[in-house]
């Protein structure tokens, strides 16, 4: 994957206030009271992450709660001791790192842009202030943590699957999660190469899997992305070769 030029300023130095259309894509703002929302908006920053650029880095202190306004990120442990693992993709509407912020720990994973992406960040102390002040925000975070736990349990199961079609189907279903990634809707803008990075398969093998899933009426491959037709069948899809 291409890295940004070495002369590019750090992401934080390129940050700016969010535009109205970008704020409209941040769904949790709607649960806040007017003054809480105004305070959060005043602290929110957005920046454009280039392909290959890291938004979070393994071992660095967690100072922001991050979300994807537009684009696609990858969560992995490729700087950790042991084999490299891709945990998940993070499509539009996804916010991540709340568990790390709650414990005020350092990141245990990398977050890297698979395509040029608009990323929003809420400072750590503002995040904790909202937890102290807003019951609705607390409920939102609890739901996030609960849904993410289910997602990672499913990811462990996917890791043991040997059938490529099944791996592609289950990973696609995870990225169409309506609560974790409300910005996706029914069309995920992703290339076959990007999907290959996430599931650990070649672009050619991803193409075969997508054709199989499309023939089964689960998805439709469109220009620039994949449209889900039956998420529930994607979520439980089992290819002919079964699990390892």
Domains in the chain (CATH in brackets) are 11-155 (2.60.120.10), 162-235 (1.10.10.10)
Q: pLDDT at residue 59 above 70?
A: yes
CA distance 238 to 234: 9
- Which pLDDT value is given to residue 108? 87
pLDDT (average), residues 206-229: 94
CA distance 217 to 233: 10
pTM: 0.84
CA distance 148 to 161: 20
Q: pLDDT at residue 5 above 50?
A: no
Instruction: Give the pLDDT confidence of 127-175 residue by residue, as tens digits.
Output: 999 999 999 999 999 999 998 888 777 766 666 667 899 989 988 998 9
243 falls in which pLDDT band (50, 70, 90)? very low
- Token digits for 26? 């941040």
Check residues 80 and 233 and name the one with the higher pLDDT.
Answer: 233
- Token digits for 210? 């997508």
199 falls in which pLDDT band (50, 70, 90)? confident
Instruction: Give the pLDDT confidence of 67-89 residue by residue, as tens digits.
Output: 999 999 998 876 555 556 677 88
186 falls in which pLDDT band (50, 70, 90)? confident
CA distance 59 to 62: 9
Instruction: Give the pLDDT confidence of 7-40 residue by residue, as tens digits.
Output: 578 888 899 999 999 999 999 999 999 999 999 9
DSSP class of residue 131 equals: H
- Which pLDDT value is given to residue 81? 55
Instruction: Give the pLDDT confidence of 107-136 residue by residue, as tens digits.
Output: 988 999 999 999 999 999 999 999 999 999
Contact 233, 165 (CB under 8 A): no
Q: What are the angstrom distances between the C-alpha of 11 and each of 29, 54, 77, 104?
A: 23, 9, 20, 21
CA distance 234 to 191: 18
């Amino acid at each position: 994957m291409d890295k940004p030029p070495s002369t590019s300023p750090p992401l934080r130095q390129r940050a700016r206030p969010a535009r109205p259309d970008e704020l409209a894509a941040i769904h949790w703002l709607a649960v806040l009271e007017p003054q809480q929302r105004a305070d959060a908006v005043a602290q929110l920053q957005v920046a454009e992450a280039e392909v290959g650029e890291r938004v979070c880095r393994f071992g660095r202190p967690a100072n922001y709660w991050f979300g994807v306004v537009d684009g696609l990120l990858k969560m992995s442990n490729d700087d950790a001791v042991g084999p490299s693992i891709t945990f998940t993709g993070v499509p539009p509407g996804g916010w991540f790192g709340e568990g790390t912020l709650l414990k005020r720990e350092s990141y245990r994973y990398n977050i890297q842009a698979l395509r040029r992406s608009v990323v929003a960040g809420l400072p750590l102390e503002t995040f904790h202030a909202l937890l102290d002040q807003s019951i609705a925000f607390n409920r939102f975070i609890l739901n996030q943590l609960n849904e993410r736990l289910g997602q990672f349990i499913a990811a462990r199961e996917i890791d043991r699957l040997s059938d490529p079609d099944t791996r592609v189907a289950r990973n696609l279903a995870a990225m169409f999660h309506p609560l974790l990634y409300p910005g996706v809707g029914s069309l995920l803008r992703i290339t076959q190469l990007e999907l290959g990075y996430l599931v650990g398969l070649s672009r050619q093998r991803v193409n075969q899997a997508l054709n199989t899933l499309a023939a089964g009426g689960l998805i439709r491959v469109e220009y620039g992305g994949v449209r889900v037709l039956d998420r529930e069948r994607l979520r439980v899809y089992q290819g002919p070769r079964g699990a390892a």
